[in-house]
Amino acid sequence: MDSERSQSAKRVGVVLVGVDLVGIPHFDAELEELGLLAQTAGLEPVARLSCKRKAPDAALFVGSGKADEIRLLVQMHGAAEVLFDQALSPAQQRNLERYLEVPVYDRTLLILEIFAQRARSHEGKLQVELARLQYLSTRLVRRWTHLERQQGGIGQRGGPGETQIELDKRMIGDAIKRTKERLEKVKRQRSTQRRQRERRETFNISLVGYTNAGKSTLFNALVKARAYAADQLFATLDTTTRQLYLVDAGRSVSLSDTVGFIRDLPHGLIDAFQATLQEAVDADLLLHVVDAANPHFPEQISQVQRVLSEIGAADIKQVLLFNKLDALAPEQRPQVLEDSYEMDGRPVSRIFVSARTGEGLDTLRHRLAAIVLAVHGPSMTLGLAPDLPQALD
Ligand SMILES: Nc1nc2c(ncn2[C@@H]2O[C@H](COP(=O)(O)OP(=O)(O)OP(=O)(O)O)[C@@H](O)[C@H]2O)c(=O)[nH]1
Ligand SMILES: [Mg+2]
């Protein structure tokens, strides 16, 4: 696979920059997530710099003193690119590139690039294509080159991208329209499939959660599938659905594994992935998987909640799965493995599990069976459940 090849090839060194602006709710001083994103994209962080500012500099985003420091780091480490954790305006990006003499990218573009590398299905590729085009239409510069050259492998310059630079807005507009039409077609096919599923009167459960929380690992553990799980961000881009038999309920439910969320998920991507995310919206129950071993989990939970509201899935019943129980230090281990957790001012059932060791999965299966039975009763004939009770305890 391309991604595997690019990972074994020599990685492009990048300098990571984070700017703690007054008033931003989350600042990752260690630039840990940006580093993971960079690695997922096949880049190698060689230096990190974070600084504080009241407001971004209009021209360079950072002050000129910091810009000098970044330039020095680039030279010292022979870095080929600079990545900013915050969104840059097209002008700031251009000015920084002139000043630093290397390409400068921001988080949005990095996420787009990862999606572009990872998309496998026809629909996934179309979705990424749409998000790229939308991003491109807002900045008609040579951003495209960077995305295009990914096809030739990371670190290669030039390539087919050069001709794309000349694309004018109208052409991009046309391309957006065409891609949307193609996506619509795929979407219609999906909704036919969905209707077929509905006819089978299934109870649909979707795994949702922050990227890298362990959704695919859990999916594999529950349905004995082999979905791709990896210590990478956005390992999964396409939705996979399998039947999960619940002994206690005497019936199967369908379980879907889908794309993970991340803070500041580029808007174009939410739009573009509407079809994939639709899977979550159509679910009867969301299993919200949380990486309990990640110190930033509360922030990650709120980011997931935000995306869920944006896609109209905020009111679907949830069970929180605090995963990676095995990775918690003994003193962090909870006393009870099943309780409730206050989320957006409401108590939500929570179960601690380890997808890796299997701990807690029986409890989860019992709970799922109880929910299915509470909604549909023990009979085998099931209708669709328009209104799910919020609390079933
Ligand atoms: N220690 C520990 N690691 C886990 C557990 N579950 C998953 N992981 C690890 O966490 C990483 C991410 O797992 P995935 O299942 O790919 O996570 P995901 O939520 O599907 O991630 P994306 O598809 O990238 O959004 C992998 O390295 C897993 O091995 C767990 O219970 N314990
Ligand atoms: Mg996954």
Spatial separation of the C-alpha atoms in residues 45 and 308, rounded to whole Å:
31
Angstrom CA distances, 163 to 40, 83, 175, 177, 287, stand at 27, 25, 15, 20, 45
Indicate the angle between helix axes 32-40 and 107-118, nearest 10 degrees. Answer: 40
325 close to 354: Cβ distance less than 8 angstroms = yes
Q: What is the pLDDT of residues 92-101, one digit of tens each?
A: 998 999 999 9
Point out the ligand nearest to the CA of residue 289.
1
What is the Å distance from ligand 2's center to 172 Cα?
31
pLDDT tops 70 at residue 391: no
Helix (H, G, I), strand (E, B) or coil at 15: strand
Report DSSP letters for 300-317, one per residue: HHHHHHHHHHHTT-TTS-
What is the Å distance from ligand 2's center to 225 Cα?
12
Secondary structure in 3-state letters for 251-301: EEEEEEECCCECCCCCHHHHHHCHHHHHHHHCCCEEEEEEECCCCCHHHHH
More confident residue, 355 or 238: 355
Spatial separation of the C-alpha atoms in residues 149 and 136, rounded to whole Å:
15
pLDDT tier at 46 (50, 70, 90 boundaries)?
very high
Q: In what order do the strands lie in the sheet with 285-291?
A: 240-246, 251-257, 204-209, 285-291, 318-323, 346-352, 338-343
How confident is the model over 115-139, as a mean pLDDT? 80
Whether residue 208 has its Cβ less than 6 Å from ligand 1: no
What is the Å distance from ligand 1's center to 233 Cα?
10
Name the DSSP letter for residue 247.
G
Q: What is the pLDDT of residues 281-321, one digit of tens each?
A: 789 999 999 999 999 999 999 989 988 888 888 999 999 99
Whether residue 256 has its Cβ less than 6 Å from ligand 1: no
Task: Give the pair of three-digit tokens for residue 98.
Answer: 């002139």
What is the Å distance from ligand 1's center to 228 Cα?
10
Residue 125 has, within 13 A of its CA and on its CB side, a CA count of 5
- Chain position carrying tokens 């046309």: 174
Which residue lies with its CA nearest to atom 17 of ligand 1?
Answer: 214
Of all residues in the chain, the percent with pLDDT exceeding 90 is 45
pLDDT tier at 140 (50, 70, 90 boundaries)?
low
Whether residue 213 has its Cβ less than 6 Å from ligand 1: yes
Q: Which DSSP helix (H) or strand (E) runs through 82? A: strand 81-84
Atom of ligand 1 nearest to the CA of 323: 31
Phi, psi of 20 (to 5 degrees): -85, 100
Q: Which DSSP helix (H) or strand (E) runs through 131? A: helix 122-138
Instruction: Out of 46-60, 120-134, 197-211, 368-382, pick the least confident.
Output: 368-382
Point out the ligand nearest to the CA of residue 326.
1
- What is the pLDDT at residue 109? 85
Whether residue 132 has its Cβ less than 6 Å from ligand 1: no
Q: Rounded to two decimals, what is the model's pTM? A: 0.77
Spatial separation of the C-alpha atoms in residues 276 and 295, rounded to whole Å:
28
Q: Could you count the other beta carbons within 10 Å of the beta carbon of residue 169? A: 11
Whether residue 103 has its Cβ less than 6 Å from ligand 1: no
Angle at 125 between CA 303 and CA 79, to 5 degrees: 70
Spatial separation of the C-alpha atoms in residues 188 and 350, rounded to whole Å:
35
CB atoms within 5 A of ion ligand 2 belong to: 215-216, 235-236
Question: Which residues, in sequence order, are CB contacts of 209 under 8 Å at separation 6+?
Answer: 215, 260, 261, 288, 289, 290, 291, 300, 304, 321
How confident is the model over 247-256, as a mean pLDDT? 91
Nearest to 31 by CA among 48, 47, 15: 48
Whether residue 323 has its Cβ less than 6 Å from ligand 1: yes
Atom of ligand 1 nearest to the CA of 219: 15
More confident residue, 200 or 127: 127
pLDDT tier at 368 (50, 70, 90 boundaries)?
very high
Task: Give the pair of three-digit tokens for residue 356.
Answer: 């890796």
Spatial separation of the C-alpha atoms in residues 136 and 180, rounded to whole Å:
15
- Taking the CA atoms of the chain, what radius of gyration do you get in angstroms? 22
Whether residue 318 has its Cβ less than 6 Å from ligand 1: no
* Ligand 1 pocket test, candidate residues 117, 120, 208, 212, most atoms within 8 A of CB: 212
Whether residue 321 has its Cβ less than 6 Å from ligand 1: no
Phi, psi of 109 (to 5 degrees): -65, -35
Which residue lies with its CA nearest to atom 11 of ligand 1?
Answer: 231
- What is the pLDDT at residue 383? 42
More confident residue, 279 or 352: 352
Point out the ligand nearest to the CA of residue 212.
1
Task: Give the pair of three-digit tokens for residue 172.
Answer: 């991009």
What is the Å distance from ligand 2's center to 213 Cα?
8
Which residue lies with its CA nearest to atom 9 of ligand 1?
Answer: 214
Indicate the angle between helix axes 169-199 and 122-138, nearest 10 degrees. Answer: 150
